[in-house]
Structures are given as structure tokens and as C-alpha cells.
A and B are shown apart, each in its own frame.
Chain A
Amino acid sequence: MIMQELVFFAICFIVLACCLLFRFIQGPSVADRAVAADSIDILADMALILFALYSGRSVFLDIALITALLGFIGSTIVARYLEGRL
């Protein structure tokens, strides 16, 4: 059974991520930009998971897993830099 609505939900996530680009570009402080980048990362992950389920190929799931790891490491390093301990 092919579930077409998974692609619809994935497009919803991508549109939400594109809305967050506004906060990433315009955000007044550096913390806003870091948080917006982290959230864009997570939303793109969700779209990748849904597309992996739709197409049945596990390559997209591997990419989503690696992106999740890199997103956590990146936001933690940005936080450490803001604290002044890097």
C-alpha cells in the first residue's frame, strides 16, 4: 500500500522550515539564530523520515540519523562558544 499523504506531511514540514528561515535571517540576537538553525535541522529530519517511509529506501533514514547527531553536536558547540569556554 502506497501512502501518498506521507509526502503531503513532508511538504508541510518543509514549508514550516522555510518559515523559520525568516527567524534565522532576521533574529536580533545570536541565540535566536542558533535555536532557529537547530529547529530547521529537526524539521528537515522529520521530512527525511517521512520520505524514507514513503519510498521504502533506508538511505534517507541514515541521512536523517546523521543529521540528528550533527545538529545536537553543533548546537552544543555554539552554546559552549557563547559561554566563552571554547
Chain B
Amino acid sequence: MEALRIVIDVFIGISVFFAFAGVVGMLRMPDAFCRMQSSTNISTLGVLGVIIGGILHSLFILGDSAFAIKLGIMGIFYIVTSPIAGHAIAKGAYRHGVRPDKKMSVDKYGEDLVEDLPQETVPDAVEEEVSA
């Protein structure tokens, strides 16, 4: 039983470590997209250790399989939806006007976006093309 306790503690400790790394990245990274990339660390690896440790704990120590089923549902939900939420926020932030600190050398999404916009709100790039 002590060995199982140590295994559960190791899983949750790994999860705390990854959550700590994600929080440090969110506090220290230079611009918004780097911070977004660092926050996915929390929502994937930080969640997974707690879920696995919690399933082991609820099956073998509490002896309650309803806990394990709920934790499994939560884990699958997090793994499926957190990349979608991160991608949606990144896309929304780009369309809202947030840009990285360094100038991007390849920006395919920005080129597609300029073609979609109506003419009166076009940024500088298209006006230069028109004048040339």
C-alpha cells in the first residue's frame, strides 16, 4: 500500500511541476503568443498527472469506481478541448490586432486575412500594392 501511495504522489508531483513550469512561462515570456503557448503546458500535462493519480487513488484506496469514471470523463474532455480553446483564442487574438514582438518573416494567415477584409479597413500592405 505504501508503494501505491508513492506512485500516486509521483504522478501528482509531476503534474505540479508542469503546472509550475507553465505558470513561470506565462509570467516571464515576452509576448502574448509565447504566453499562450506556455499555457497549454498547464492544461495538458498538468492535468494528466492529476487525472492518472486520482484514478489510481479512487480505485485502489477509496474503492469507489464512480470517482474514477468522473475523473476519466474530465481527463478526456480536457485533452480534447484544450487545444481547440487555445487555437481559437490565438486566432481571435490575431484577428483582434495582437501581433508578436518580433516581426514575422512568414505570415500566411495575415495574407489570407487581408484578402478577406473590406476595402476601407485594409492595412498598409494592400494600400502599397494598390499604389504600386
Contacts and interface: CB of A to CB of B under 8 A. Distances in A.
Main secondary structure of the interface of A (DSSP, over half): helix
B70 A39 contact: no
A80 B87 CA distance: 11
Contacts of B43: 38-39, 42
A53 B62 contact: yes
Interface residues of B, number: 52
B71 A23 contact: no
Contact of B9 (A5, A20, A23, A45): A5
Contacts, number: 146
Contacts of A1: 1, 5, 61
B89 interface: yes
Contact of B16 (A13, A23, A52, A61): A13
Interface of A: 1, 3, 5-6, 9, 12-13, 16, 19-20, 22-23, 28-32, 34-36, 38-39, 42-43, 45-46, 49-50, 52-53, 56, 58, 61-62, 64-65, 68-69, 72, 75-76, 78-84
Given A30-B93, A38-B85, A83-B95, 10 more contacts: A13-B19, A22-B27, A30-B98, A35-B86, A39-B22, A56-B64, A64-B74, A68-B77, A76-B84, A82-B96
